[in-house]
Structure 1
Amino acid sequence: MMLIEETAVPEAALPIEQFKAHLRLGTGFADDDIQDAVLQSFLRAAIASIEARTGKVLIERVFSWELVAWRTGYGQALPVAPVKAIEEVVLRHMSGSEEAADPVHYRLERDTHRPRLVPLGTVLPPVPSGGAVIVRFRAGFGALWGDLPADLGQAVLLLAAHYYEYRADTALGGGCMPFGVTSLIERYRTVRLLGGGAV
């Protein structure tokens, strides 16, 4: 399995001014925007870290997910949430040729934690022998920062501020995340049951 982020978080969606206010950076100077690139990098790092911890996509973008087989033909759980739409399902043959599966054969089953691709008929389109299937989908809470739940937005600002404050510190242990951040994101974390085997 391979998950690829086909579109990035757009710069316009990053809350630079809100982050500056959170950090209490001075304003009204001629070079107010001199740190914008640095602040953007910390915001992007915080977003990526929280998405990795929760399995939730914060800002809407397009992903492609390649599989060599369905877990079961009766439904396939998608790797992240919330999923807004299935863009296409492409079947890749062993020869490398590709064909789009007819959308009349599948649909998105929305779920807060485990959205699924499910068949509209008996089973999902069969994956070609020796080939693969690529599911392209659009996921995220919304295209704009204001579309995020308030607690997740606050968690991003707290974590980005943590990265900013400790940017020169290389002694922090692996997986270090402030308690305030972990408490805010806890309810969004996906509980994995049966070793991830449940669809």
Structure 2
Amino acid sequence: MMLIEETAVPETALPVAQFKAHLRLGTGFSDDDVQDAVLTSFLRAAIASIEARTGKVLIERIFSWELVAWRTGYGQALPVAPVKAIEDVVLRHMSGSEEIADPAHFRLEKDTHRPRLMPVGTVLPPVPSGGAVVVRFRAGMGAVWGDLPADLGQAVLLLAAHYYEYRADTALGGGCMPFGVTSLIERYRTVRMLGGGVM
């Protein structure tokens, strides 16, 4: 299985001004934007880290997920949430040729934690022998920063500020995340059952 982020979080969706206010950086100077690239990189890192911890996509974008087989033809759990729409399902043959599966044969079952690709009828379109299936979907809590729940938005700012303050420190332990951040994201974390199965 391989999950690929096809589109990145757009620059316009990043709360650089809010982050500057959070850090209490000075404003009104001619070089106000001199640190924007650095601040943007910390915001992107914080978003990626929180998404990895929660399994939730914050800012809407498109992903592709390649599988060599369905876990079960009666429904396949998707790797992240929330999923807004299935763009397409591509069946890739061993020869390299591809065909787009008929969208009348599957549907999206939306869920806060474990959205699923479900068959319309008996089973999902069969994966070609020796080939793969690529599911392209649009996922995210919203297209702009203001669409995020307040606690997740605050968690991103706190974590990005942590990265900014400790940007020269290499002594922090692996997986280190401030307590304030972990408490804010705890309710969004997905409990994994059945090895990522359909339930």
Runs of 4+ in 1 over 6 A off after TM superposition: none
SS at match of 1:90: strand
What is the Cα deviation at residue 124 of structure 1?
0.2
What residue number does 1:33 align with? 33
What residue number does 1:56 align with? 56
Q: TM-score, normalised by structure 1?
A: 0.99
Alignment RMSD (CA, Å): 0.7
What residue number does 1:46 align with? 46
Structure 2: where are the runs of 5+ without partners? none
What residue number does 1:98 align with? 98
What residue number does 1:70 align with? 70
Q: TM-score, normalised by structure 2?
A: 0.99
* Residues 122-137 of structure 1 aligned to structure 2 (within 5 Å): 122-137=122-137
The alignment-based identity, stated in percent, is 90
* Residues 1-199 of structure 1 aligned to structure 2 (within 5 Å): 1-199=1-199
SS at match of 1:196: coil
Q: Give the partner amino acid of 2:29.
A: F
Give per-residue Cα distances to partners, 1:75-95, cap 9 Å, x unaligned: 000000000000000000000
What is the Cα deviation at residue 35 of structure 1?
0.2
The whole-number CA distance in structure 1 between the counterparts of 2:194 and 2:95 is 36
SS at match of 1:193: coil
Q: How many residues align?
A: 199
What is the Cα deviation at residue 167 of structure 1?
0.3
What is the Cα deviation at residue 193 of structure 1?
1.8
What is the Cα deviation at residue 27 of structure 1?
0.3
